[in-house]
Amino acid sequence: MMVVEESTKSLFPAHLFLQPGDKPPVVTENLGGMMCEVYRQVGIFAHEAPARQVVDRIAELDLAWVHAMHGGTLTGEALPYYVSALRTQEFGYRGMLLGREVARPATT
């Protein structure tokens, strides 16, 4: 679930647009690649297509702030870095869950 607060042009995106590690209150740097790596390792997104559809809709908004659940607040100027990473990099589930490889069931 995400919330857009229109008077401040702010997005509260749940787990989307996170930045790994300790970050300052406002983040302007491009950590999009690191974000996608965290998503691959943790296994948050089962598939990329639905998330990309949401990202495309978000990119159309005139946002000033993105208040990520994990990490600092992104400025509207930094948001395109993260949108680009989600549009171009793999980040969907690839057999890892919370940093561990998930064993496949034995076939008989």
104: left (phi over 0), alpha (psi -120 to 50) or beta: beta
| pLDDT value of position 1 | 85
Kindly tell me if the per-residue pLDDT of 99 is higher than 80. Answer: no
Q: Looking at the chain, which runs of residues are DSSP E strands? A: 3-5, 10-12, 26-27, 65-67, 73-75, 96-97, 100-101
What is the pLDDT at residue 33?
Answer: 96
pLDDT at position 16 is 95
Question: Per-domain residue ranges for the chain?
Answer: 3-95
**pTM, rounded to two decimals:** 0.86
pLDDT confidence of residue 108: 65
Q: Give the strand order in the sheet containing 26-27.
A: 3-5, 10-12, 65-67, 73-75, 26-27
Q: Which amino acid is at 88?
A: T
* Residue 96 confidence (pLDDT): 73
Q: How far apart are the first and last CA of the chain?
A: 40
The predicted-structure confidence for 47-98, as pLDDT tens digits, reads as follows 999 999 999 999 999 999 999 999 999 999 999 999 999 999 999 988 877 7
